[in-house]
Amino acid sequence: MGVSVAEVSGTGTDVRSGADIAHRSARRQDRVRELVLDALESVRGRAREARVLDCGGGSGRLAVPLAVAGAHVTVIDISVDALAVLRRRAVESGVADRIVPVQGDVEALPGSMTSGTFDLAIVHEVLEVVDQPGFVLAEVARAVRPGGLVSILAVNPAAGVISRALAGDLVAALAELRGIVVDTAASGRLAPDALADMGRAAGLVIEATSGVGVFSELVPGNRVEAPGDYEALAELETLAAARSPYRDIAARVHVLARRGGNPGEESS
């Protein structure tokens, strides 16, 4: 199945204003960018630029900042339109020479991409929309060198239940929860523990699991107006992101995993 994951919707039923949704999305994207740039720093080699594979990131929201930070980024995406946006952003940011757009299916990565030559692979909001998420993650894991990192981001099914319930759509919330109970690992329903298990099955060592959008996805934007509110919300997010049970209800789950093996075996 060919998928483009440049734009994945929010946590569930959206009864919020367009401005509120945009504000939440911007906060979420800022946090995800921070996580990925931190991962880049941890794999950056002293003698050469880091090599990054971005699966499904055709619009360049991560690829361009990574290239600006000095990485060489290969982006695979099924969407011609998304890749066109990527090329435009790359040119505007002066990093076109550091980004290689590839039109292709993340569920059928070319052999040249699974030979363990990347330092960091990004698979964000992909696994919940493919037919065989375990297979896709295993292929992505093969793309990184021993000791390299895989950054995984997925929509949290628990957040969908909560958002629907808070919106008053209790029937939909119940149906969502029943689906999770029946098969938490089904396509589109990848809970934090299911993501971690999938990573281990792919030969990855889980280094960190965090939530993205714990409280910021629940608090209406028009309620963050009093002096100190924005700073308090930011600190709430920071403190809650890596702590259970808060991270378990976040809008997105981020898993950072390392491929096993001797880092000294990395490709030159």
- Rounded-to-integer distance, Cα 192 and Cα 155, Å: 10
Number of domains in the chain: 1
| CATH code of the domain covering residue 210 | 3.40.50.150
Cα Rg of the chain, angstroms = 18
Domain assignment of residue 10, yes or no = no
CB 255 within 8 A of CB 202: no
Q: Is residue 145 part of a domain?
A: yes
Domain presence at residue 34: yes
- Predicted confidence pLDDT, tens digits, the chain (268 residues): 455 544 444 444 444 555 556 666 777 888 899 999 999 999 987 556 899 999 999 899 999 999 999 999 999 999 999 999 999 999 999 999 999 999 999 999 998 898 899 999 999 999 988 989 999 999 999 999 999 999 999 999 888 899 899 889 999 999 888 887 776 555 557 778 888 999 999 999 999 999 998 888 777 666 677 788 888 888 888 899 989 889 999 999 999 999 987 554 444 3
User: What's the domain range around 203?
Assistant: 18-56+106-154+184-260
Number of C-beta neighbours around residue 71 at 10 A: 24
153 closest CA partner among 75, 77, 251? 251
Q: Is residue 127 assigned to a domain?
A: yes
Residue 232 lies in a domain: yes
Q: Do the domain assignments include residue 266?
A: no
